[in-house]
Structure 1
Amino acid sequence: MDSGGCRMNGGGGGLDMISLEDLESVSEEQLELEEPEPEMEEEDLDQGGRLLQYWRDAARGHQVEVPTDMAQPIQQITSNNDGAHTREPVPYTLITRKEKCGEVLYEKRHYEKAHWACITVHEDTYEQSICYGFMKIMRFICQQNSAGSYLGMTIPIVTVVRTDESNTTLSRAVTVAYYLPTPYQNDPPRPYDPDILIEQWPAAIVYSRSFTGATNELSILHELRSLVEALDSPALGSDSFIVAGYTNPAAAHRHNEIWFLERP
């Protein structure tokens, strides 16, 4: 697993079957239907154990292992996504919006400089890299930080994605990034995990195009080409971009965005 710098210089991301958002779709009835693993002790079959088993079942499709120590952060994020807690959006200023026949082709936005917690992961597959990156970020959010507290959720969770020169193949190395909530922007808590870096990303001009549905390699490359076609003469990097995820991947109409960054 490689780690590296992750300033806002391109990227994208989304989990097909696992993400910080997935847990919102898990109801008590669903958990009651899950069969426990044979090695789990009876006293462990509480809500945390059922949630962990749910994640393990979901991860199996991507050949991803969810370790036992994920039970606590999974349960903590679930309990804090009960509707009483709001998720802070990453702030931006809308500069302009291009529309055609009532369809928004893209928005041009300005994002201020801000601190992000990020990790670069390089696994055998794109989906595995995102899954393992998200799990590490979850641990950081859930008390594995110098503040010793649950930091709170922000949206979107983004991943920096890199492509080959022809924009036809995604690199296995992806950067998963989490915007630190406002109370922690001036004094970011330190992560206990040395693979997670706290970066102050510079202010940036972003070209953003919304799309719905799954975020896998095929859909991301399709949306990438759609944004390229919609932009007239963008001053953009050609080998990296961002995919931002806002809603539960299990939802029928998921809200995602492709972001391109304007070069200085």
Structure 2
Amino acid sequence: MLKAIGQTLFSSGLQHPKFTPQESKGDYEVRTYHATNWVSTAVPGMEQDTALSTGFRRLFKYIQGTNEKKSKVEMTAPVSCMIDPGAGPACESTFTVSFYIPEEHQADPPKPSDSEVFIENRKELTVFVRTYGGYANSENSQEEILKLMESLKKDGMKFKESPYYRAGYDSPFKLTNRRNEVWLIKDEE
């Protein structure tokens, strides 16, 4: 428990999903993430930050032992949130909050006990990534996704406008040198 809290507070030494860097442009990079298992929960709602908080709490319970094996699972980074916007301005969006499952559990992740939590097998995925600092919230994440779209359009890159991802690497208690990202999926067509 103390180790998990320490890792959550200081975000150092956390395992990350493996990816192959493709290229780096001025304000974004291209990465291909390998196929991996993540533990996820979908939260419908209107407010991104509230949904992220709800999803994080569900997943934190899972890594603390709310799973069929009652086993503790190491905290990892990033915490990703796939945002699938609703059809209109007053429609609910779906926010899928996810933790990468550490290497030692990749082959056989503990099954969640909570019916709202599931194991997600992510296929290989190529994304455009824009990194930014500070404390992420729905407003600055939206600004960063728009900047990324603008850069990709300028460079003639093909991408899917939705869903898109927001990824955070740091605990709320880390005050400086914070790392956040937004990801857009490369359109392979």
TM-score interval (norm. to shorter): 0.7 to 0.9
- 1:249: Cα distance to partner? 3.3
- Picking from 161, 165, 175, the partner of 1:242 is 165
Cα 1:245–1:169 change in 2 (3 A) is farther
> How do residues 55-204 of structure 1 correspond to structure 2 at under 5 angstroms?
77-78=4-5, 86-99=13-26, 105-123=27-45, 125-163=47-85, 171-204=92-125
Aligned match of 1:67: none
Displaced runs of 4+ in structure 1, greater than 6 A? Answer: none
In 2: Cα distance, 1:82 partner to 1:225 partner: 30
Closer/same/farther in 2, CA of residues 230 and 164 from structure 1, 3 Å limit: farther
Task: Tell me the residue number matched to 1:50.
Answer: none
**For 1:237, what is the secondary structure of its paired residue?**
strand
Cα 1:192–1:116 change in 2 (3 A) is: same
What is the CA–CA distance in structure 1 between the aligned matches of 2:86 and 2:42, rounded to whole Å? 18
Task: Give unpaired runs (5+ residues) of structure 2.
Answer: none
The answer to whether the 8 Å contact 2:83/2:96 transfers is yes
SS at match of 1:221: helix
Gaps in structure 1 of 5+ consecutive residues: 1-72, 100-104
Q: Distance in 1 between matches of 2:64 and 2:78?
A: 18
TM-score (norm 1): 0.63
Deviation at 1:124, TM superposition (A): 5.1
How big is each residue's C-alpha offset from its partner over 1:117-165, in whole Å with a ceiling of 9 and x where there is no partner? Answer: 1111124532221111110000100011123221101111100113367
For the structure 1 residues 146 and 255, does the alpha-carbon distance in structure 2 shift closer, same or farther, using more than 3 Å as the test? same
State which structure, 1 or 2, has the greater radius of gyration over its C-alpha atoms: 1
The equivalences for 1:21-40 within 5 A come to none
- Identify the residue that residue 208 of structure 1 maps to in structure 2: 129
Q: Does structure 1 conserve the Cα–Cα contact (< 8 Å) formed by 2:71 and 2:110?
A: no
Question: Which residue identity lines up with residue 241 of structure 1 in the other structure?
Answer: Y
- Hey, what's the Cα distance between the residues in 2 that align with 1:144 and 1:76? 17
**Count of matched residue positions in the alignment of Structure 1 and Structure 2:** 184
| Distance (whole Å) between structure 2 residues aligned to residue 126 and residue 170 of structure 1 | 13
Q: TM-score, normalised by structure 2?
A: 0.86
Q: Secondary structure at the match of 1:90?
A: coil
* Percent of aligned positions that are identical: 24
CA contact (8 A) 1:122 1:129 kept: yes
C-alpha spacing 1:224/1:81, structure 2 compared with 1 (3 Å): closer
Distance 1:82 1:163, change over 3 A: closer
